[in-house]
Amino acid sequence: MPDFAINDVPHTRLNILTGERILVSPHRSKRPWQGQVEELSLDKRPEYDPNCYLCPGNKRADGSENPDYKESFVFVNDFSALLKDTEEGNINEEGLLVAETERGICKVIAFTPRHDLTLPEMDVEDIKKVVDVWQSEFASLASNEWIKYIQIFENKGSIMGCSNPHPHGQIWAESKLPMEILKEEKQQQEYFLKNKKSLLSDYLALELKKKERIIIDNDHFVALVPFWAAWPFETMLISKRHVTDITEFSEEEKLDLAKTLQELTIRYDNIFSTSFPYSAGMHQAPVNNGEQDFWHWHMHFYPPLLRSATVKKFMVGYEMLANPQRDITAEKAAEIIRNQPTIHYKSNTK
């Protein structure tokens, strides 16, 4: 079968991490936009908000009082989606009505005492302290033998359902493996057994060779737009060294991760001169679940913005009923992000 003009004609791309496909329609990116326009957030906040339940010294929703913390602050979510003391139970009616209890621990991490900052506006040293907390919390949660997976993530911006603008992320640790993890586990394990190398090691080597979708390339991490990206400005961070989870990172690697996170999120904000919303999270090896050498640490960023700070990408119609679809190609998105300055746009107005 001959090659085709990948930047001109409709085609599908394979997501090698999940085994799923996405439809790419590059010719549609030229069409005029007459769809939904979101209201632009001015994103002007004070350093301290007396009504914020994450600011130092304030009361949270359950009445607890935050300490006067100076760096990151971690606590069990006052309205956890998973509960530690849930007893085991299941329902199975003829294999048609099936349910089972899920046990877990949900934590919140306030990244900084400053109410007015986001990751791209924080110093690298302060982001490194957040990475330290991620690492220590992962190790602490993994010490519970009943916990099988630990999901570290951040929802940024009200458009992504973030209920509090204070810079924070979450960690959900649970007793079973989530569906996205099961998909990635299958793909990575099959590749590792066949090739004796991690799937993402070989993928990263090919991306670095082609240099079409690379955004950041430093000593320890690469940020790129994956070939199969579904969201317009979706990116992925991959560790150059094959490690299975965050506990394996050295001090030097953690500092490089902090630098990568700062630079990528600055580039995001600079695309539309706005606080760029996203959901982001790490995928790493399950815990207390046997040998996991085939897992390779990586981090996904899923931003919803499409054409401007006020135009959001919706997964609807064909995408809900068939498979994801995008107009702007991964290569064009990478070019746009890569061409952004690494000085935050707000710095030019100070």
Residue whose entry in the numeric block shows the structure tokens 């099961």: 182
End-to-end CA distance of the chain: 56
Provide CB contacts within 8 A for 266, sequence distance 6+.
120, 340, 341, 342, 343, 344
The per-residue pLDDT string of the chain (350 residues; one tens digit each, 9 = 90 and over) reads 678 888 889 999 999 999 999 999 988 766 544 445 454 555 688 999 999 999 999 999 888 999 999 999 999 999 999 999 999 999 999 999 999 999 999 999 999 999 999 999 999 999 999 999 999 999 999 999 999 999 999 999 877 767 788 999 999 999 999 999 999 999 999 999 999 999 999 999 999 999 999 999 999 999 999 999 999 999 999 999 999 999 999 999 999 999 999 999 999 999 999 999 999 999 999 999 999 999 999 999 999 998 888 788 888 999 999 999 999 999 999 999 999 999 999 887 55
Q: Give the number of C-alpha atoms closer than 13 A to the C-alpha of residue 270, restricted to the C-beta side.
A: 21
Name the amino acid, one letter, at 341. P
Residues designated catalytic: 168
Are 276 and 283 within 8 A, CB to CB?
Answer: no
Nearby residues of 190 by Cβ (< 8 Å), 6 or more positions away: none
Closest by alpha carbon to 340, among 246, 244, 266, 261?
266
> Can you name the residues that pair with 177 across neighbouring β-strands?
none
Question: How would you classify residue 43: left for phi > 0, otherwise alpha for psi between -120 and 50, otherwise beta?
Answer: left
